[in-house]
Amino acid sequence: MNNKLNRRNFLKISALTGGGLVIGLPALNSCTNPKEAREAATSWTDVNAFLKIANNGEVTIKSPNPEIGQGVKTSMPMVVAEELDIPWEMVTVVQAPLDLENYKNQWAGGSQSIKRSWNVLRMAGATARFALISAAANMWSVPVSELVTEDGKVLHKASNQSAHYGELLEAAASVEAPEEVKLKDPKDFKLIGTDVKNVEMANILTGKPLFGLDYKVDGMLYARVIHPPAFGATLASVDDAAAKAMSGIAHVVKFGEKVAVVGKSSWEVIKAANALKVTWNNPPKPESTEGHVAEMRRLLGKKGEVRRKDGNPERAFRQADKVIEASYEAPFLPHNTLEPMNFFAHVTENSAKLVGPTQTPERAMRTAMSITGLKEDQVTVEMTRMGGGFGRRLYADFVTDAVEISHQLKLPIKVIYTREDDMTAGTYRPAFQYKFRAALDKDGQLTAYHQRGVSVNGGHVTRDLNIPSGAVGNVLLDSHVIKSEITTGAWRSPTHNFLGFAEQSFIDEVAHAAGKDPLQFRLDMLENAKNNPVGEVKYDPERCIGVLKLAAEKAAYGKAPAGVFQGVALYFSHSTYVAQVAELVMEEDKPKIKRIVTAVDCGIVVNPTGAINQVQGSILDGIGHTFFGALSFKGGKPEQNNFNQYRLIRIPEVPNVEVHFVKNTLDPTGLGEPALNPAPAAVGNALFAATGERWRVTPLGADKKPGVVELEGRVG
Amino acid sequence: MPTYSLTVNKRKMEVDVAEDTPLLWVLRDHLDLVGTKFGCGIAQCGACTVHLDGNPIRSCSVPVSAIGDKKVITIEGLSKDGKHPVQIAWEEIDVPQCGYCQAGQMMSAAALLKKKPNPTDADIDAAMGGNLCRCASYLRIRKAIHTAAKIQNS
Ligand code: FES
Ligand code: FES
């Protein structure tokens, strides 16, 4: 990405203040940061789409992307503040609404927010700073080159003159801000790379309304939607007499295959929806986990669609000294954001106001347009903070619910899902399986690699740019897709979230079969990729080696005391490199995870405290789901619908997670997902070291005797 | 509909709701105290944890009719100024990711610290095992509880 700003995206200061200052906005936005004692702001000037400056020098930065817990509402404004050279205490952050004219990539997915906006955010701050410096130069008749910025002020040290940014706004109005200015050298960063706490801290800690579920307006009614119990089922008839007779119930609304109960309070609609008597037409082909698993296993024995081929894998396998083969299996997973799906819509004849937790505000807008026939400029979308995303809120099914109901009733409607509604109407992580084969020559060199994938409604699950592709002369990747009525979608690091486990466990199997140390085996492969790359290589072998070595060093890999078992894994995804060493101890014949040592190369770490939180959270998320996560189906119906039947990782099961970052000045890449992917394999490989058994089916141990493995963390 | 008189965060409040209405929804929908969160409705996630006469309870699973004159404290009433040791520690350790579970976590932690001013890791496991954090901020939660204990005891 180049550093050029799209001119349309940035109002020049001259253009904006030419129309007059925005007078009299009270400083009510200043709830996030305690301000130093300073005169209250009485006027604000919009400088560009990302920031406005008050006459007292305070700055409000608009955070464009949805905040789902990944921390972008803190880290993205930090980047703007860095280039503007404004102390963080003088910054207030607000969430920008959907604004297609001014922002690009206003969504949260693929760990892309920081990576894609890095240069735009920097330029937003830098061009504003440039205009302020130029204004001071004009005012004081000194050359720009003699001016510096510090603490939200422009200084001319030689003449001892200074002015805070608020004092320069008027003069800056006549400055022609260029599209591109010089950005800071990363070594001069003052804010980036320091720990900045969650901007919403005070509001979270005192229970202020922040989330979609907290949003209310006068006259708003609540709605609970009943969806078909089985995937593929359709609505036959509804007897709503009992529900309608219940207290607080105002309407019963049908749309698509769904029925909604609308009423005055959450509890009243939750109860009344249970009183609906709905008849459903059963799905023509009810699906079951048993059926899916059998069909996937069958297809793994058949040639699939070729996704990558290097060299002559068939011949290499024929000539192999040793062939290693193994299959890995994963179930469907619900997202289970702790805040269940919910959304607010108020549709009138000529407008629609949408408010709520969405990772894709533009999709929400388009959904409303297609249901109501309204035009783009008649629909507004505001994003609330989200109680988790993990990919679930990329979809618009819950937006559809709210808009459909509000469109029919022309009332402000808040749709709420119970946990049961949420878990049984998912866009699940698809179930998938892999079969791997590796060919070794008589020296234990990897000569061919074959990966075959199959998914239920998950598209092609082979990843042609993954290691070891590029590092071995003969590669074959092929795959199958099974169609299904079950809705699936992106779940934190789609495909990689299980491929990381499968592939990095299998590599371990191959290393052991070759009689090599699993770490050294990986390093050797990467040397191959570096020196003799085969086909397309997207990962940087050097950065892979860097994280592997850092993790190994920090974990004292290979030097563990007796009774401590180590497993290593490496994964590259979302442009970020992660390696991990997991350590287990055996206590009373049961393995316990002691710690996970992680090395991450994501380029510049914008906000280390937030980054560590993300890395630790994703690792524990990955481990938790690998040990416990499974959503099964019978007759097309999910068999688990709440946390009494669906287990998530809890505090007693959590091991220590140590996080180390590779220090460099490369442009930053994302952290919401990548650290999840190698963690389950690092643990599985350590389990192999401890038990001599291979763990190939998730949830772990599902294919073994009950009680063989339990997840128990040991902190300290 | 029956009228219930409740003492929430040291203030008397009245609500007209059906007797089976869970305290959680009374707080959120009728008293505008939305800091207490809904996560499961069946006492499995802890997002709705409040104090009833000082004890942590899952407000999703206690009907309003069972409250009587017991005193309810929610996250909004945990401290006057947001400076309960748990709140200070949570900020110092920068615990929240999405933040949705944290009110429940803090209410459970505050109740634990009242009973055990110096909780061990095993005490934390026992007291906090009912509180899910889907973002898995557990390591920081544990650390923040130890920090809060120090703040409380100093
Ligand atoms: S909502 Fe009460 S425990 Fe989950
Ligand atoms: S911080 Fe997101 S659920 Fe705990």
The pLDDT tens digits of the residues spanning A603-650 come to 999 999 999 999 999 999 999 999 999 999 999 999 999 999 999 999
Of the candidates B91, B100, B140, the beta carbon closest to that of A201 is on: B91
Stated pTM of the model: 0.94
Q: How far is CA B111 from CA A678, B10, B43, B84, B86, in A?
A: 37, 17, 17, 12, 10
CATH 3.20.20.70 fits B3-77, yes or no: no
Asked whether the beta carbons of A243 and A205 are under 8 A apart, the reply is no
Of the candidates B18, B82, B137, the beta carbon closest to that of A613 is on: B137
Q: A488 has which bridge partners?
A: A428
Q: Do B29 and A266 touch (CB under 8 A)?
A: yes
> Does the interface predicted TM-score (ipTM) exceed 0.95?
yes
CATH number of A2-205: 3.30.365.10
Phi-psi region of A603 (alpha: psi -120 to 50; beta: other; left: phi over 0): left
Report the alpha-carbon distance of residue B145 to residue B148 in Å, rounded: 5
Which pairing describes strands A59-63 and A91-95: parallel, antiparallel, or unpaired? Answer: parallel
Pocket of ligand 1 contains residue B88 by CB under 6 Å: no
Pocket of ligand 2 contains residue B137 by CB under 6 Å: yes
> What are the structural domain ranges in chain A?
2-205, 212-283+341-416, 301-332+428-715
- pLDDT, position A628: 92
Q: Give the fold, CATH level 3, of B85-153.
A: DNA polymerase; domain 1 (1.10.150)
Q: How far is CA A26 from CA A41, A54, A579, in A?
A: 7, 10, 49
| Helix orientation angle between B138-153 and B102-115, rounded to the nearest 10 degrees | 40
Residues 6+ apart with CB under 8 A from A374: A347, A350, A351, A352, A368
Mean pLDDT across the stretch A128-156? Answer: 95
Asked whether the beta carbons of A554 and A543 are under 8 A apart, the reply is no
Q: Which atom of ligand 2 is nearest to the CA of A339?
A: 3
The pLDDT tens digits of the residues spanning A526-569 come to 999 999 999 999 999 999 999 999 999 999 999 999 999 999 99
The pLDDT tens digits of the residues spanning A46-105 come to 989 999 999 999 999 999 888 888 888 899 999 999 999 999 999 999 998 999 988 888
At A711, the pLDDT band (50, 70, 90 cuts) reads: low
Task: Establish whether domains A212-283+341-416 and A301-332+428-715 are of one fold.
Answer: yes
CATH 3.30.365.10 fits A301-332+428-715, yes or no: yes
Percent of chain B surpassing pLDDT 70:
100
Q: Name the CATH architecture for the domain at A212-283+341-416.
A: 2-Layer Sandwich (3.30)
At A37, the pLDDT band (50, 70, 90 cuts) reads: low
- DSSP string computed for A562-611: TTEEEEEEEEEETTEEEEEEEEEEEETTEEEEEEEEEEEE-SS-S-HHHH
Q: Which atom of ligand 1 is nearest to the CA of B37?
A: 1
Phi and psi at residue B57, to the nearest 5°: -135, 160
In this structure, chain A runs to a length of 716
Specify the 3-state DSSP secondary structure of B133: coil
Specify the 3-state DSSP secondary structure of A402: helix
Please provide the average confidence, as pLDDT, over all residues in chain A. 91
Chain A residues close to B75, C-beta within 8 Å: 206-207
At A388, the pLDDT band (50, 70, 90 cuts) reads: very high
Which pairing describes strands A277-281 and A342-347: parallel, antiparallel, or unpaired? Answer: unpaired
- pLDDT, position A612: 97
> What are the structural domain ranges in chain B?
3-77, 85-153
Report the alpha-carbon distance of residue A256 to residue A278 in Å, rounded: 14
Residue of chain B nearest A342, judged by CA positions: B38
The pLDDT tens digits of the residues spanning B66-112 come to 999 999 999 999 999 999 999 999 999 999 999 999 999 999 999 99
